Amino acid sequence: MNLPEYIRGMLEYKESLGYSKKTYECYLKDFQRYFLEADHDVFMEDTVLPWCQKRNTETSEGFRRRITPLRELSKYLYAMGYAGYIVPTDIFPSIHRETPYIFTDRELIRLFAESDREPYCKASPCRHLIIPVIYRLLYFCGLRPNEGRELKRSDFCYEDRTLLIRKNKSHRERLIPVADDVAEMCRDYMNKSREVYPDTEYMFPAPTGKPYQRRWLADTFRRLWNASNLEKCHVKVRVYLLRHRYATAVFAKWLDEGADINARLPYLSAYMGHAGFEDTAYYIHLLPERLLSSTRIDWERLNAMIPEVEDEG
The answer regarding whether domain 3-91 maps to CATH 1.10.150 reads: yes
Return the pLDDT at 168.
63
Q: Which residues of the chain are modeled with pLDDT < 70?
A: 18, 95-97, 167-171, 230, 232, 277, 285-313
**Which CATH code is given to the segment(s) 105-228?**
1.10.443.10
What are the start-end ranges of the H helices in 117-260?
127-140, 145-149, 180-196, 214-228, 241-257
Return the pLDDT at 313.
30
Write the pLDDT tens digit of every residue in 19-28.
Answer: 777 878 999 9
Give me the residue spans of the domains in the chain: 3-91, 105-228, 241-305
Write the pLDDT tens digit of every residue in 262-306.
Answer: 788 888 888 998 877 677 777 776 666 545 455 555 545 544 444
Return the pLDDT at 19.
73
Q: Which long-range contacts (CB under 8 A, 24 or more apart) does 64-67 make?
A: 64/92, 64/93, 64/95, 65/27, 66/27, 66/30, 67/91, 67/92
Return the pLDDT at 305.
44
C-beta of residue 124 within 8 angstroms of C-beta of residue 206: yes
